[in-house]
Amino acid sequence: MLPTFRRRKGSMPSIVDEFFGRDLMSDLFEDVQTGISVPAVNIIECRDDYRIEVAAPGLTKKDFNISVEDNILTITSEKEYDEEKKDEKFMRREFGYSAFRRTFSLPEGVDAEKINASHKDGVLTIILPKKEEVKARAPKQIKIE
């Protein structure tokens, strides 16, 4: 099957992306580089809660800010990188900045007062407990008389 050609902001078709990957060629053909990436997110519904897993390798728990306002959960992160290496003949200094912001509308049955979060192995996990009245209950067996 032949790859599909789509036009982007630039004039080059996306066949380049299909073969080489977007990251390799985007610097040559994009007008603006933002330096901002949004991490992948898994949203899982369990019996007693919802879980949001944010893949954020290289970030620590102190790099995140999580807030809830007007039934909107907001996750933000900002991190500055600064690395300097000196040798007898040269000095190299690299620095950078990364940031992202994700917002989620909370379902009606979430108990916003009991939301908690943890961070382990590059994954931020946010637990959104369900209110008692919306938790899934085991089916009730009805006796036939």
DSSP string, 64-101: EEEEEETTEEEEEEEEEEEEEEE-SS-EEEEEEEEEEE
Residue ranges per structural domain of the chain: 36-134
- What are the pLDDT tens digits along the chain (145 aa)? 444 444 444 444 444 444 344 443 334 344 344 455 788 999 999 989 999 999 988 889 999 999 999 999 999 998 887 777 777 777 777 777 788 999 999 988 899 999 999 999 999 999 999 998 877 777 888 889 8
Instruction: Provide the 10 A C-beta neighbour count for residue 140.
Output: 5
Greatest Cα pair distance, the chain, in angstroms, is: 93
Strands 116-120 and 91-105: unpaired
- What is the model's pTM? 0.63
The CATH topology of domain 36-134 is: Immunoglobulin-like (2.60.40)
The burial class, CB within 10 Å (0-12 / 13-18 / 19+), for 32 is exposed
Residue 48's SS3 state is: coil
Instruction: Provide the 10 A C-beta neighbour count for residue 130.
Output: 20
